[in-house]
Amino acid sequence: MSADQALKSKHRAMWALGDYAAVAADVIPSLGPVLVEAVGAGPGTRVLDVAAGSGNAAIPAALAGADVVATDLTPELLEVGRNLNDGLRWQVADAEALPFGAGEFDTVMSCVGVMFAPHHQVCADELVRVCRPGGTIGLVNWTPQGFIGQMFATMKPYAPPPPPGAQPPPLWGSEEHVRALFGDAVTDVVAQRRMLRVDVFPTAAAFLDFFKRNYGPTIAVYRANAADPAAVSALDAALLELARSHDLGDGAMDWEYLLFVARTPAENA
């Protein structure tokens, strides 16, 4: 197995941990519909959702009338999505090597998904390749300075070092970084930093308990430190403090994300 195959296998296993579908359905259910509206998915549009997970954007796009293909590296997540809605196509695929022809889709989108693929430029090039000329690319990604970006920064000292060439996921939430990835392969860029109100955790402890049980990256970091009770305790304290620092009252938090929508140049442009 090559180093890249080993890395993808590790990612696949990480996202199968816990219950990401619960995160999508209970914590961030509005993000998918926001993206679907922003890209204008609807009847007559062929949509590819990359790193779709359990379908938090793919299913709303299908319900809006679009012809949707939902892909993800982790088959377990796709199976959950298929059980939620079998009216679209669910397919295992690597965001860095999409098994589709050039220009096959009117809209290519990803909701806090493609940001977790390790090689950013490869992913951006693939999104452009499978989008037709004059088509739409739409992304929702957590920002580095927002709550989830800061959560990853908090966990980083406790996580195994990433392999050479792998880039941090929250970089996809930096407008400057994403613009550089796409360059002149896209036009008509609209990039907005927005807030998602999360009010399902009454306390910081409730947030931590939920993420330790359900969110693959958090579970993986805790497993990596399971033999070191002092590290586990320190990580608990750091994540609790992060949640408390974002508490707006009664446990409500605002999580920042970047909404990025662009078009591929038309053939006659």
For residues 250 and 140, give the distance between their C-alpha atoms in angstroms, rounded to a whole number: 27
Beta strand spans in 101-244 (E): 105-111, 131-142, 187-198
Tell me the domains of the chain and their CATH numbers. Answer: 3-198+254-263 (3.40.50.150)
> To 5 degrees, how large is the angle CA 194–CA 197–CA 199?
165
CA distances from 241 to 94, 173, 203, 207 (A): 35, 23, 11, 11
Q: What is the mean pLDDT of residues 230-243?
A: 98
Q: What DSSP assignment string belongs to 45-110?
A: -EEEETT-TTTTTHHHHHHTT-EEEEEES-HHHHHHHHHH--SSEEEE-BTTB-SS-TT-EEEEEE
| 179-197 pLDDT per residue, tens | 999 999 999 999 999 999 9
Nearest to 96 by CA among 43, 30, 51: 51
Torsion on CA atoms 164, 102, 68, 86, rounded to nearest 10? -70
Q: How confident is the model at residue 100 (pLDDT cuts 50, 70, 90)?
A: very high
Residue 126 confidence (pLDDT) above 70? yes
Residue 92 Cα distances to 29, 49, 121, 140, 203, angstroms: 22, 12, 21, 21, 37
**What pTM was computed for the model?**
0.95
Residue pair 203/4 in contact by the 8 Å Cβ criterion: no
pLDDT at 210 over 90: yes
* Burial class, 85, CB count within 10 angstroms (exposed 0-12 / middle 13-18 / buried 19+): middle
Mean pLDDT of the chain: 96
The model's pLDDT over 70-83, given as tens digits with 9 standing for 90+, comes to 999 999 999 999 99
pLDDT confidence tier of residue 1, bands split at 50, 70 and 90: low
Q: Is the pLDDT of residue 269 over 60?
A: no
